[in-house]
Structure 1
Amino acid sequence: MASIRSPEPHSAADPFELQRLAEELAEREATSPPVATAFDEVSKAERDLPIYVPLSHENPYLRAEAFNVEEFLLSRAYTSLPDLRLELRDYLATLKEELVRLINDDYEAFISLSTDLRGEGARLERMKAPLKDLKYQVLTPREQGTRKILQDIQDNTEQKLKERSKIREQKAFLHLLLKISESITRLESLLLITVPSDGDRISSEVNALRDIHRSDDRGPDDRTRANRAKHLARVASEYTQLLYHVFRAREYGSAFIDESQWRVDRIKSTLSSDLDHLFASTLVALAAGREQGRETKASELERSKWVADVTECLRTYDMLGLWRDAEDVLRKEVVRDFVKKTIHPNALSTPHSPIVPHTPFAPSSAASGARPHTPLPTATHPPRTPYTPFTAFASKQNPFALSLHPSAGGAEAAPPIHMLDDRDDSLAALYNAVLRFVDRDLKRVMEIAEGVCAKSGARGRREAGEQGAGFEVMANVVWAEVGRAIMDELGSVVFAAGKPDEFRKHHETTQAFTRALEFLAPSLHSIEVMRAHPTYTAFERRWQLPVYFQLRWKEIVTKVEESLATTRLERLSSKAIAPFVTAQAAIVWDAINTCWSAEVYIPELSHRFWKLTLQLISRYKAWLDNSLPAFEPPSKVAAAVAAEKMGLTPGSPANLPRAATPNLPTEAASPESTAVDEISLQQFSTAIIDIKAMDAEVVKLWREELSVMMPESIDDGSDENIGPEAEPSYFVSLIFRPVRTFFGVGSADGPGAPLRDELLQSYAEEIFEIVTQRYIHFLSAMKKTEESLRRLKKNKKTSYSLFGSSSSRDDDGRADEEKIRVQMVLDVEAFGKDAESLGVSVQQSETFKILREMAGSTLTDAAEYDDM
């Protein structure tokens, strides 16, 4: 049998004696000293020749569960296929030899296996007999049985485990209480809070230390203030952890937590007080530094330190959730004093001291009264000055001011302040002072607060709907103080609608101030919160816009009615009223222009001015109808109109006179009739000229101005602009309710539920027909009544006036009737759908078709009547 060992030196498997050469090379390298060559950098594995590994049982490819031929051949890549075949044959012979040896070694035991197992069956039966008795003892429910013993052991084990678990929980709870106690003690020591048991001496010493710390906050030592800010931030972090631990401990109902709650509250109040004191002192120092207006590097360094302290304080406020406390400090320390000094009853009559702007603007610019901005339009323009609406807040761009130039020194230009034109306008000057103050002392604080909320996640909670999360300085501080001061101190002047010109100017200036103030807001969300603030809502309600409109309406309409009192068209030769030829048309057009001029128009009253414009045009039409003489067409024109009504086209053969009987010339017209015709021709031509001019001017006004100024939808909130109801009347659903209740339709059960399949449809059809006939009867009676009323109104002619006439009341009545008709159509459709749900064939009912046609025909008749 061939061996699986390495071949001999002169065998055919190793003709070049590679094995011997490899062994000699290894011995030479072991005995010779190492020589540092470049060849040493190559690893030994890269220098050695492939080692021949004979096949054996330890080969991983042969021991694998699934033999892979490709992997096995790749592992023997250095062996040729004839040599590999010889190796495999040698390995097969080795396996056979080992198998035969195993069989020979264990043959005797294999043969005696059957004889050794004789009698084992009876032995197994004897071993099985005690198991029955053991099973009986285990399953027998005796008081002292094995099962009860085991159950007792199990119960005792579970009880011990529960006790150990409870002990672990109590241990963890004790650790939690110890942690809470240590945290309270540590916080009291950090905040220098006295313990009642320490005695009065210690209390006085600690209070003295607290006074020293507070005095350091207002002192010139900025390092102490900065250290104090960081110290309070660390205390706040420790306090939040304490609150979390207290919350967890309250789940167990510990008396220690209840007794220690006053200490926790004292820590909170002390921390809040210290934080308020530090924040207030920092704000005062920052404001004082800005008022000095120094431009040195030292002042800039101090200012950056103060800003860092403000940021740290705001972070601490945000960590503790004391956003309103920070706003209250800012309101008391910075805003309230300025508002009291600036906004008072005599504020519009006293000059305002200039406010030094912040860096990089030169203080001399504000002090000298220079205004680096584009002024707003003033009220010194001709009456036909078109209204220029203010640009709404859509981007961080100034719609009515130029960019401010950087000051000397190469500093970059800061965002511009959106200033108002305060020339000859004391209210605008007051608003400019407020804008400069907000830009100088509050804008940076608002931006820092917004950034703190963004980093801490308060903005996300605020957007998710959590009320009161985050800082709202613009709404709760700036506008709350400024808006309330304007209403309380200057309300009788700013919101007085008795003088329309001043009222419109104040409204325009105030709206510009509001938009400019919104440009200083740190985010769009802060603007939305400001507009939703109760003070902002109350401020907007103080504008008595309906009163202002009534005054303007009286001014405009009075002139128009005075000019239209003369019911005669007189052409004037003056060119001042061009392109019109009558004074009445020029006055009506001037009234329309006045509604939309910059001196009268207010955007919030656009719906009212639009209605007044339509009323003026309608009034002019009524005046023309009453002023023009009755038109009597000639006989030929009358004949053509009659032929057209009969269905004959003018100029048809049936309408032409016979050639054999030509018409004889009529008698010449008298001088009186000729004069009357000349007067009528002149009046009609005058009316046509004014009508065409009015049409052209109104279309031009709409195309160039009104289409831009008017909102997408006009709704003044009054009953006259409310459309028809979008839902049917409530009583429609009550018609078939008794039927549904009796047969149990849509409910669990009813008295006639068993009869539903048999009688529901027939009963519903009978009720449907009866109700439909009653509807038809009522509609017929209503239509007859309306037709009689229309005849009376048509025969009764009344004059038209904008001051409330019968014609205007008739228009209101028509609108009400139209609403009733539309509502009736909705009710009929809803009634049909309700009947269909009960199995009634509504579409095949002739009675319902008549009812639907009657409901629709009333609308058509109303439209025809309105066109007459």
Structure 2
Amino acid sequence: MARSATELFSDPLDSQPLWFKPTAFHSPDFDPESYISELRAFVPSDTLRSHLHSHLSSLNRDLIDLINRDYTDFVSLTTNLVDVDSVIVRMRAPLLELRDKVLVFRSGVHGSLIALQDGLRHRSEAASARETIELLLDTFHVVSKVEKLIKELPTVPSDWSKDDAAPGANQSSTSNGVSMIHMDNGMNVRETQSMLLERIASEMNRLKFYTAHAEVPFSCSSIYHLQNLPFVQNMEKRIQNASQLLDASLAHCFRDGLEHRDENAIYNCLRAYAAIDNTSSAEDIFRTAVVAPLIQRILWHGQPALSPATSGDELENDYELIKQSMKEECKFLLDIASAENSGLHVFDFLANSILKEVLAAIQRAKPGAFSPGRPAEFLRNYKSSLVFLSYLEGYCPSRSAVSKFRGQTAYMDFMKQWNIGVYFSLRFQEIAGTLDSALTATSLKPLQQSSRDQRILTLKQSAALLDSLRCCWRDDVLILSCSDKFLRLSLQLISRYAHWLSSGLAARKKGAPGSHPGSEWAMSAAPDDLIYVLSDVHFLEREICGDYLGNVLGLLSSCSTEICNFVKESILQGGKLLKDVTPLITKAIVEALVDKSVEDLRQVKGITATFRMTNKPLPVRHSSYVGGILRPIKTFLDGERATAYLTADIRNEILQTVAIEITGRYYELAAEIVNVARKTESSIQRIRQGVQRRAGASSDTSDQNVSDTDKICMQLFLDIQEYGRNLSALGVEARNIQAYSSLWQCVAPPDRQNTINF
């Protein structure tokens, strides 16, 4: 069939694109993921999916066509199967024969496997039994060996255990009078005995391991410890007797070595104690034989005569004597126990012998030493105890040894005796109570002239605050472990003082002291008294943010940088709290001075009565009240207190503020007078004009060229000129005050409205 012109230059409708090759699916190593990833680079996913669906549809059609074409052959396939049953019977016979042979062979193999497993089990039980017998034999041999070694000791009295229990027994020499007898090899009896005891201890350790840790299989399903076997249980009495004899012999030898300071004997005895894991017995013997007598000698019999100012519960001198005695009587054992690679690090004679005995002796002889009821003595004893603990830690050979020492029960029991919380509570009441009693006074209490320093403080209340703040960080008060509590107390003291100031000034402003208890001082305080308050607040703010802060940071220099920064920020915040009160004090001074000035300023109202309805001529000089307006501020600034305690900046700030406030009040009064005068004059003028019109008289205004209002304004103008000169004399430029400019424009003649000149 002929094709159209468009079909000549395009792909057939049923043709596949060149990139789609169906033959690639027939390859044995076809990988769908790699196939798709290769085509994705240049074929869109939608296009690839559509062609794959088209190809699948084409394959389904071909399959259906193939089945339809050969359908008759498929249907007739079953009809070609002839005599199938006979074929199946012929094939079944050899298969059944093969199965029987396999079952017979399998049964034989299973029987052999069971026999082999039984043999292995019997072999394992025999090996376990042999191992058990060997362990039992080893245990028996060890017990016999221990008993034999104990009998070989140079001196083995049967009653050592009784002698050791008697506190008054004579243990200065070995039993039977044998002491310091040299053997052929040059060693004395004590050293030989200690070496033998160390050997016995190692065997006893081996025996304990057998009886306590060794496990033997009793059957296939259970395991027993060696100590549960009857054979071992029958030897239990022999083991206990051997252990008791070893403990008694070892204790006697160790005491003898301590008494004669035989380093070799002590070393061997300590190794023996370490071998049997009985370090507590060695520590107790050293405590009772060496430490207890010297502590008792110091705390009970070695007390020097006490001075009247010294309490009987002071521990500093006792600790010094204990340190000296330790160097003489304990150091040799501590050096042996802390020797490098000695294996004696399991002992802790510092905590379990020395510190434990010191604590018990103090509790018996000086129980009041731990009482915080006397804070000063308690603190001295506490700090002396910390120094003593530091001295003991000096005997530790490493940091790990120090950590171990601090983790001992005796160390923690010793630290629990010092009730730091109660001590701080007492100090809190003492320090805070002192400040609170000073602040509850009904008036300001200046310091005596002899003790007052113009560079420091002027009021007892301020001095009480500074003393309380310094007291928190004094050496005879502060405990570094409670530094956070003392910091909080310091901030509370500052806040209490600032609240005392602010509440008093608030009550002064309201004029109601009852609303703020403790504010009576502010109601009765004169401006000169507030100078003391202002000066003290400035000094306290500088002191707290300066030397006081440096002192606190110096005491906490061992803390981390983060903590020091937090402390610094907190104290600076306290200083800012005082700084924020300063404007309130200055405002109270200004208000008091303004109120005094206003008393003279109110005389300006008399000008109206002077010129109203009178024939007085136009005024030519200022009023007498003007000189008294600024007299309070001048007297205040020229006073001894302001000169001595206020800086030039503060004086100028007060002067400028007072001048602005007074001028504002002056303007309000003058403006009111002028407005009232003009309204009154206008009313009178209307009345006169009405009378003249009714009378038919001519209006003669020759006498009314200068009105009463003009006279009043002229008087006010002369007054404010004098007031401006007085301000200039104090150092205040009147032209720069907005209220003064308004006042000038209010009363000045029309020709002088725009020029302020006095």
TM-score, normalised to structure 2, is 0.49
TM-score, normalised to structure 1, is 0.43
Higher helix share: 2
Q: Select the structure of larger CA radius of gyration.
A: 2
